[in-house]
Amino acid sequence: MNDSVFITDVGPRDGLQNQPKILTAGERLDLISALADAGLPGIEVGSFVSPKAVPAMAGTGELIPQLSAASGVQYSALIPNMKGYELARDAGVRSVNMVLYASEGMARANVNMTIAEAENIAADILSCARTDGIEVIAAVSVAFECPFDGATDPGVVRDAAQKFLQLGVDQIVIADTIGAANPQQVRSLTAGLVSDNGAEKLGCHFHDTRAMGVANVFAALESGVRRFDASIAGLGGCPFAPGASGNVATEDVVMMLEQMGFTTGIDLDALLRASDLAETLTGTAPGGRAKAWLKPWLAKRAG
Ligand code: COA
Ligand code: ZN
């Protein structure tokens, strides 16, 4: 069994983009640093999107030069289009996360494109990134259900994943954007994806809207997936996907993985400090379920 799991904390992007309170650049950097200090292997630090569409993500470019390179963290940023790619590249981003769509309704609501237009642009971005030496992650959004078009055909997700892996993306992330999936659906789709492409380049991104986030992580683990997005203190949600609530909380996922014998490289004490900071900074982070139990347990363990 491969017992090492790579976690990307998407709180500074998926989390903060949807908060009523807009954090300053300094506050965003403090949160990112707290996550790096906790040993997160990946952190999605922000997005390069229209500041009119998502005011909370304005100024992501200014954060990039201030990220600590010494930490060994893989910092990534979300981009919706070629302009976002160019801004990210010029700011010094080394890993971009581009978005694909499993439904026309979501493509329209998020970026005012069709699925095919978004895929064509994604293919163009990929070819630029190859020249520029930038890593490319492709996330397939609404992979289980779309708030506009209803249930997603798993075949559409499998086709998109296969197509972009063949085109050469470094990673495909299956995103349950509104947190509608159940573990049975996750097991079935991830087993199919692993049999098509292997597990190495496959990641999953779950929201905890229906309290099945951790169960869905477990279902994907059972299929062999070893890369997960999660969000500190359960922050999260997409402003353009009605009903999307917070991501599965990083502290919940890490606690489950560590207790099952997986290795994450994450320090739980430091992770809870990052979670407390996320709650203080936003005032609205739901906080994971694990923290209430973990804090006294860690204190006792420390003696
Ligand atoms: N970053 C910053 N500004 C951008 C941009 C980007 N990636 N892409 C376009 N813009 C600017 C344009 O320059 C233009 O500016 P102007 O009004 O000053 O001339 C404006 O945004 C509108 O551009 P247009 O190409 O007509 O796009 P649109 O109005 O159809 O909006 C997006 C498309 C993608 C820019 C916008 O919907 C967006 O940023 N969405 C963000 C989606 C998101 O973050 N979702 C959550 C994560 S999945
Ligand atoms: Zn999300």
Confidence of residue 239 (pLDDT cuts 50, 70, 90): confident
- Amino acid 170: pLDDT: 98
> Closest by alpha carbon to 241, among 16, 18, 10, 15?
18
28-32, 66-70, 216-220, 227-231: least confident range: 66-70
- Amino acid 185: pLDDT: 98
Q: Please give the backbone phi and psi of residue 207, each rounded to the nearest 5 degrees, phi first.
A: -105, 155
User: How large a percentage of the chain has pLDDT more than 70?
Assistant: 100
Q: What is the sign, positive or negative, of the torsion defined by CA atoms of 119, 92, 23, 176?
A: positive
Each residue of 177-204: pLDDT tens digit? Answer: 999 999 999 999 999 999 999 999 999 9
pLDDT at residue 1 above 70? Answer: no
Q: Where are the beta strands (DSSP E) in the chain?
A: 6-9, 42-47, 74-79, 95-101, 135-141, 145-146, 150-151, 171-176, 202-206, 227-230
Q: Where are the domains of the chain?
A: 6-302
Mean pLDDT estimate for the chain = 96
CA dihedral angle for residue 209, residue 213, residue 141, residue 203, rounded to 10 degrees: 170
Go through the chain and tell me how many residues it has. Answer: 303
- Amino acid 284: pLDDT: 86
By most ligand atoms within 8 Å of CB, the mutation choice from 17, 50, 99 for ligand 1 is 50
- List C-alpha distances in Å: 231 to 40, 54, 127, 151: 11, 18, 30, 25
Active site residues: 238
Task: Tokens for 89, please give them.
Answer: 């590249």
Nearest residue by C-alpha to atom 41 in ligand 1: 49
The closest-lying atom of ligand 1 relative to the alpha carbon of residue 78 is 47
What's the rounded mean pLDDT across residues 266-271?
Answer: 97
**What is the Å distance from ligand 2's center to 15 Cα?**
8
- Amino acid 87: pLDDT: 98
**What is the Å distance from ligand 1's center to 118 Cα?**
13
> Closest by alpha carbon to 80, among 39, 52, 41?
52
Q: Quickly count: other Cβ atoms within 10 Å of residue 195's Cβ.
A: 12
**What is the Å distance from ligand 2's center to 162 Cα?**
21
Q: Which residues line ligand 1 (CB under 6 A)?
A: 17, 47-50, 53-54, 78, 80-81, 83-84, 87, 99, 110-112, 238, 240
pLDDT at residue 71 above 80? Answer: no
In terms of pLDDT, which residue wins out, 20 or 17? 17
Third-level CATH fold of 6-302: TIM Barrel (3.20.20)
Cα separation of 17 and 83, whole Å? 19
pLDDT at residue 243 above 90? Answer: no
Cα separation of 154 and 160, whole Å? 10
Each residue of 79-113: pLDDT tens digit? Answer: 999 999 999 999 999 999 999 999 999 999 999 99
Q: Which residues pair with 244 in a beta bridge?
A: none
Each residue of 20-45: pLDDT tens digit? Answer: 899 999 999 999 999 999 999 999 99
Q: Quickly count: other Cβ atoms within 10 Å of residue 201's Cβ.
A: 18
Nearest residue by C-alpha to atom 33 in ligand 1: 111
**Type of residue numbered 133:** G
